[in-house]
Structures are given as C-alpha cells and as structure tokens.
Amino acid sequence: MCNDEPRRRRIALAVLGLMTILFAALSVLSFVGPRKQAVPQEVSFDQYSAVDGKRVFQAYNCMGCHTIVGNGAYFGPDLTDLYRRTGPAWLAAFLPSAGAWPTAAAIRVQLQNPAIAAAAGTDSFDAYLERYPAARERIERRGGRSTFMPNLPFTRDEIGQLIGFLKYTSEMNTEGWPPTPLPAARAAAAVGAVGAPAVAAAPAPTATTNSSAAPTSALATTPAGATTGAAAGAPDPAAQGAKLVQDLGCLACHATDTQRKVGPGWGGLYGSQSKLADGSTVTADDAYLEESIVHPDARIASGFAAGVMPSYETLTTHEQRQAIVAYIRSLARK
C-alpha cells in the first residue's frame, strides 16, 4: 500500500495537469475560430466607426429605454439586429425625426445618398424593401404616424455613428439569442414565415388622408407631378400641399404651429423675417421656402444645424413645391 502511494500521486497530478491544459485550450477556442465574433473597431458605416457610435448611444442614455442583447431597459424594443432588419436608409430617415415613423418618400430621399445606397447594396426603393422586409412592414403599417420616442438633437455625424454602431450589433454572433417563443415558432412554421401571424392578426389601417400607404401609392408608382392631380376643376393648392406634407413625412420634423421640432415650426413662418445662422435675415417668401426644399443647406435658419434635412428636389416638382409653400402660407394666415 505504501509503495503504491507515490505512483497514485503522480497519476493524480498528471490527470490534473491534463484537465488544466484542456480547460485552458477550450477557454482560448471559445473566443476564436467558429464564433467569428464581430469586433467594433472593424465595423463602420461610411466613414463613421461603430466605436464612436457606441459612445453616442451611451451619451444619449439609449439604454434607459432600449436593450442590446437583452441588456438595458425594456421600455423600447431591443435594437440588437435592427440594422439587419430595417437597413441603413430606414435608420437614416428615422433617427433625425424619431417622433414619427418614416414614410416611403423619406426612404427614397435617403437612398439618393451614395453612402447609404452603397451600404444597402441598392439605390432602388423596391429592391430595398425586398432586402429589408421589416422596413416595408414599418412603412406600410406605421409610416407618418407618431411614435413614443422623442425627437433627439442628433447631428449628422452622430446619426452616421449610431448607424455604424447598430450595424455592428447586427453583426454580433448572439448564438441564437433571443430564442423564438414556442407558440410563435409553431405559428411561424404553420404559415412558413416568422412574424406573419402577427401581421395578419392586426387589421390594416383604414384608407384616410393620413394613411401610411399614401407615400407608396402617391409618390412611388406615379411620375413626379402626378400627385398634384389634375382632377376636374382647379383644386386648392393649400389642400394639395397639406396632402403632400403628409405623404412626404414633413410633419415629423416641422410643426404646423410655432413649436420647434427637428426643424422650425411653420405657423406664422410665411412672410416673416427669419434670422439665418450667418447673422443675416431673409424674408420667408415663396422663393426662400422653395429653395429650402430643394437646397436645405443653402441658407440655414439660426439655431439649426446643417446636414439634417435632405433635398427633396428629385422627389417633387416645381408645382408640388408651390403647393407645399401655399400650405405653409395658409398656416401663416391662421
């Protein structure tokens, strides 16, 4: 018995050493190889780094409402794979005016940006919706409607950085998280597509002048200029403008009174003396307002940042812009 004790001790130590080596090897392998984990330093959108986007995300305390991989608050939806599902154009349209859901026209505007089109892999609106079906669902069911999220004073660079960060979170290997709830998984298998039962269960919005489908039907499938309508008689330009600003999603950034949102309020704007960022003043007449629609950075109103509003030159005709100006003029009269 005594002669066997040293041999048993050596065997025990050898087994312990082998287990230690295996544990160390498995620990190293868990961080390399098959996981292919995304690294934020290597992910970017345009010239914006995901690392800088994470700093913006933290600076605005987005975790106070949202979660990333389940970490954070649960007031708002989880944002882990939002970029993968909605794409960069939808995010670029939503973030500057988060108080309202983007419309089809807003997505079309963003796809004119070469950086966004390159990141999305297409500059075609229809191809974009095929690639990012969650963007289609949001446009059709919610476009132009109010959200519970406030408009935040993001700069153009901060928006790009946030998109870069959300691109990184969508590329993370979450190893199956979050799992699909069992009842939802069974329902999805029955219809052949995850999420289809939820869409089918909720009735589609009724057709009104505020319908989220209006941008798609009014601005996407007809030539520019057809939306003003040449029905019998002479329609009221202000009424046409009211419909256009709904379809284009303008009211996500501009109030119909004097309230300041992402952009200045339109109430009382027409005919007023507007102070510009360079210290000069300009009369808010037809020419200035149409110029602001076509070249929004040409003359920036004091207190507002450049690069936030995109150009609507290719999405509107001169006649449509005149109708929008007529609507703004009617708000001044009120």
For residues 135 and 49, state if they share a domain: yes
Q: State the pLDDT confidence band at 228, using cuts at 50, 70 and 90.
A: very low
Q: Residue 21 belongs to what H/E stretch?
A: helix 5-29
What pLDDT score does 253 carry? Answer: 84
Residue 52 included in any domain: yes
pLDDT digits (tens, 9 = 90+) for 105-150: 889 989 999 999 999 999 999 999 999 999 999 999 998 888 999 8
How big is the CA angle at 246 (ends 242 and 250), to the nearest 5 degrees? 100
Beta bridge partners of 91: none
Q: How far apart are CA 332 and CA 230, in angstroms?
A: 26
What pLDDT score does 153 carry? Answer: 86
Residue where a domain terminates, one of 173, 206, 225: 173
Cβ atoms of residues 289 and 325 within 8 Å: yes
Residue where a domain terminates, one of 173, 201, 219: 173
Flag whether pLDDT at 226 surpasses 60: no
pLDDT digits (tens, 9 = 90+) for 274-290: 899 899 999 999 999 99
What pLDDT score does 35 carry? Answer: 57
Q: How far apart are CA 122 and CA 112, in angstroms?
A: 10
For residues 47 and 136, state if they share a domain: yes
What pLDDT score does 111 carry? Answer: 93
User: How many domains would you assign to the chain?
Assistant: 2
Residue 321 included in any domain: yes
pLDDT, the chain, mean: 81
Residue 229 included in any domain: no
Element counts in the chain: helices (H) and strands (E):
14, 6
What pLDDT score does 204 carry? Answer: 37
Greater confidence, 118 or 7? 118
Which candidate, 157, 159, 39, 38, places its Cα nearest to that of 88? 159
For residues 154 and 66, state if they share a domain: yes
Q: How far apart are CA 98 and CA 160, in angstroms?
A: 15
Flag whether pLDDT at 99 surpasses 50: yes
Torsion region of 140: left, alpha or beta (phi above 0 gives left; psi -120 to 50 gives alpha): alpha
How big is the CA angle at 116 (ends 115 and 118), to the nearest 5 degrees? 65
Residue where a domain terminates, one of 173, 205, 225: 173
**Both structure tokens of 58:** 């933290």
What number is the average pLDDT over the span 258-271? 88
Which candidate, 199, 61, 76, 55, places its Cα nearest to that of 140? 199
What pLDDT score does 330 carry? Answer: 92
How big is the CA angle at 247 (ends 244 and 251), to the nearest 5 degrees? 85
Q: Residue 282 belongs to what H/E stretch?
A: strand 281-283
What pLDDT score does 209 carry? Answer: 35
The CATH number of residue 274's host domain is: 1.10.760.10
Which candidate, 251, 269, 243, 259, places its Cα nearest to that of 332? 269
Q: Which domain holds residue 242?
A: 235-333
Residue 71 included in any domain: yes
Beta 273-275 vs 71-72: how paired, if at all?
A: unpaired
Q: State the pLDDT confidence band at 334, using cuts at 50, 70 and 90.
A: low
What pLDDT score does 332 carry? Answer: 80
Cβ atoms of residues 172 and 38 within 8 Å: yes
